[in-house]
Amino acid sequence: MSKKDTVTLIDNSTGKEIELPILHPTNGISTIDVRQLYRKLGYFTYDPGFLSTASCHSSITYLDGLNGELQYGGYPIEQLADHSNFLEVCYLLLEGELPTKEEFAEFKTIITEHTMLHEALKRFYSGFRRDAHPMAIMVGVVGALSAFYHDEIDIHDPKHRMIAAHQLIAKMPTIAAWSYRYSHGLPFEYPRNHLDYASNFLHMMFSLPTVAYVPDPVFVKALDLIFILHADHEQNASTSTVRLTGSSEANPFAAISAGIASLWGPAHGGANEAVIRMLTDIVESDNDVEYYIERAKNKDDRFRLMGFGHRIYKNYDPRARIIRKTCHELLTGLGSSNEYSDLFKAAMELEQIALEDEYFISRNLYPNVDFYSGIILLAMGVPLNMFTVIFAVARTVGWVSHWDEMIQDPESRIGRPRQLYVGALPRDYPKDSD
């Protein structure tokens, strides 16, 4: 190992020094391999929230937070958004290469033929209150899939892993749409094999036995784009949850259920729902946008500008740029009188003021993917509490791709972080209390 590929660490309290290897990526930031640190120097590293920690090596997705770049398998998200479709992106994330025409046709058939659910799964829905949040239903029903497929899976068999991945990608839209139907007292609509992925989801969400339903092609295209943009995002909280859960060799359906639970939080995938609640408050309240900007800057106020800021992007989230354009096009197509234009105008005003404000500039806070996506979903008639569900449907391919990559990684082992213990020192149980 040449000197230039190492760092030297000197423990000033003992004078002891060690060399740690630098691991170089194909793209992006190099890492210091600290695996020998504890054995050689007797220290743990401390990094709450993992701001400076690489948990694994991966070839699936690359983010450049400083330049606002996102690539799936090396392909820029802007090009995939313009030229690809969600199922082709699913193949790319799972296999690492774009499919040939024949490979895509075969993959599409496999996914289409796995969209049905075991009829017994229907009964899981009736156990939920009518007003249960669909994300609670998703966590429960997806976790329950492990009861249906548990015994058949040998997670060390690549074929079994790919079948589980195909089942999850195929069944998530059905499970998601049925969580909507259940909460609205509507009969469950079955998938239709002649429809594409996004059309099928809209069909299962909105078709009624009483009237023929044809998905609006504008909405189908916008939803397919939303699926592409949300498909994967490196080691985010929910993907790291899936990896950590899967590292114990838990059933993949249980691991994905854990990912759904993590995504639900408003700091993560729940932000799209929180953005609309914030924009609606702005539009309906007497307070102007500056009032909300000042609240977001006030340390004593827990209020944050939802849809703003990102752990990685210290520039505009490239997905936000794409989705802002689609949002504008879709609303223009609906005509300026539609009720969502006010939300879009409030979002643009908020963005403009924030991007010129020292507080946001100095902290590199820009709109993220959640800032505009909700307005599109609202315009499609998707209710607020289904926004994160749609994020989960899209992110399932990212979760299963990372799970599959982790299981086949020879370096992979059960994740078990250590801690900086700051609790009580050893003490005896008080004798006099016997």
Distance CA 105, CA 99 (A): 9
Closest distance of CB 229 from ligand SDX, Å: 8
Looking at residue 26, the DSSP 8-state letter turns out to be: S
Closest distance of CB 126 from ligand SDX, Å: 32
Residues 6+ apart with CB under 8 A from 54: 31, 235
Residues 6+ apart with CB under 8 A from 55: 235, 240, 243, 415
Closest distance of CB 409 from ligand SDX, Å: 21
Q: Cα-atom radius of gyration of the chain, to the nearest Å?
A: 24
Cα of 205 vs its chain's centroid, Å: 21
**CB nearer to ligand SDX: pick between 174 and 272:** 272
- Burial of 184 per CB tally in 10 Å (0-12, 13-18, 19+): exposed
Q: Which residues bind ligand SDX (CB under 6 A)?
A: 49, 233, 236, 267-269, 271, 296, 304-312, 363, 365, 368-370
Residue nearest to ligand SDX (CB): 309
Q: Compute the 3-state secondary structure of the chain and give helix, strand, coil in percent, each to the nearest 5.
A: 55, 5, 40
**CB nearer to ligand SDX: pick between 200 and 235:** 235
**CB nearer to ligand SDX: pick between 140 and 374:** 374
Closest distance of CB 135 from ligand SDX, Å: 14
Long-range CB contacts (< 8 A, 24+ apart) of 120-126? 120/148, 121/145, 121/148, 121/175, 122/178, 122/188, 125/178, 125/179, 125/182, 126/182
Q: Which of 133, 166, 233, 310 is catalytic?
A: 310
Distance CA 350, CA 138 (A): 32
**CB nearer to ligand SDX: pick between 204 and 228:** 228
Closest distance of CB 116 from ligand SDX, Å: 29
CB 330 within 8 A of CB 338: no
Distance CA 219, CA 199 (A): 9
Please give the helix or strand (H or E) that residue 375 lies within, else none.
helix 370-379
Amino acid at 345: K
Question: Would you call 357 a catalytic residue per the annotation?
Answer: no
Amino acid at 118: H
Question: Would you call 432 a catalytic residue per the annotation?
Answer: no
Q: Which residue has the tokens 């800057």?
A: 297
Q: Which of 224, 317, 370, 404 is catalytic?
A: 370
Strand partners, 69: 64
Closest distance of CB 365 from ligand SDX, Å: 5
**CB nearer to ligand SDX: pick between 128 and 316:** 316
**CB nearer to ligand SDX: pick between 308 and 344:** 308
Closest distance of CB 240 from ligand SDX, Å: 9
**CB nearer to ligand SDX: pick between 84 and 373:** 373
| Catalytic residue annotation | 310, 370
